[in-house]
Amino acid sequence: MSDSMQLDTVIIGGGITGLYACYQLYKQKGPGHRIALFEKSERFGGRIETVDMDGFLAEFGSMRFEKKGQPLLMRLIQELKLATCYFPPYTPATNLEALFDLEKDEGRISHGHPFNALELLSLGILRVLGQSGGDLNNPRDTRHWEWWAGLDEAFYHRVRNELTFNGISLYQTGFWNVLSEVLSHNALKKIIEYGTFYHFIHQNPSAAEWINFWLRGLHPEDELVGIKQGTEALVIELVKLFSSPQYPSIQLYMNYCLTAIHQDENNHLRLTLETHHHESITVRTRHLVLAIPQSSLKKLLPFFPDAIGRIINGVIPRVC
């Protein structure tokens, strides 16, 4: 690679988001549009990784997708001719030997037997949002699920960017913090232990991110599927596609980190990228796509206009 390049679009980030952006951009612009994708690490795919363990495909990232809730991804899987397989829905643990002294409005008395871990989780989310119109002491109320079935991307966007709890934006609040306000301590313990969320106790992920995750994951009218060849097949097929002669205007690079963004007088962008060996190159581009997580974006804040810097907190913390 030369130490100075001139491109139409540069994509930073070689996870599935960056690769998908590259795929769609080429489809829309055609072979005359010069695209380069730069990945900081030594592999493409980001958090997506599949390891074959003597025939068992172990996933270290995404492993299931929603057929209705993720139409763009399902279309990509179809276009890449990848086979899908049924993925079991979320179910609670069946071992109920350990007793939790739940509150009356958490099902111990008023509904005959305790709610399971997923029902308690649903109850907490319903109470935080307070919009279903159903009985907020009973997650089995059909009105909740009728409301839940009608949720769409516009609502998920509101959860991520607009909704508040006790006057604080959900994206600025921890998931366990909001649940602890609407459920008893023992109900929360049951969710953590039977839901196997113990590994998230110290992380306390964003309430907005995880409420959306479960609104999608427990959607009553969706179906979960996995990829038979493993989720990393998505990455492998896209990289193979971009490396083929039919995609001559796409260049993929690994081990390059974006360190600076400057604007030229002609409104083109001048990017500085650095290798693992601390060698720098300059890339000039008309357009820039940043397909990287929130934490990586924050490192580039000094180079963003104020209008962009103000919305960084609205970006989903993780990109797969």
Last residue of a domain, one of 162, 182, 217: 217
Q: Is residue 180 situated within a structural domain? A: yes
* Residue 268 CB coordination number (10 Å): 14
What's the number of domains the chain is made of?
Answer: 2
Q: Are residues 206 and 244 in the same domain?
A: no
Phi, psi of 142 (to 5 degrees): -60, -25
Domain residues for the domain of 59 are 4-63+231-314
Distances (CA, A) of 121 to 188, 192, 205: 8, 9, 15
Distances (CA, A) of 56 to 63, 86, 90, 91: 13, 16, 21, 22
CA distance 62 to 87: 12
Tokens 């709610």 sit at which residue? Answer: 115
CA distance 121 to 125: 6
Q: Is residue 54 situated within a structural domain? A: yes
The predicted-structure confidence for 199-225, as pLDDT tens digits, reads as follows: 565 678 889 989 998 888 777 767 788
Q: 128: which 2 tokens?
A: 């935080």
The predicted-structure confidence for 235-276, as pLDDT tens digits, reads as follows: 999 999 999 998 999 999 999 999 999 998 788 999 999 998
CA distance 131 to 136: 10
Q: Are residues 251 and 207 in the same domain?
A: no
CA distance 16 to 76: 11
Model confidence band, residue 98 (pLDDT cutoffs 50, 70, 90) = very low
| Contact in structure between 292 and 316 (CB atoms under 8 Å) | no
Q: Are residues 48 and 117 in the same domain?
A: no
Strand pairing partners for 168?
A: 165
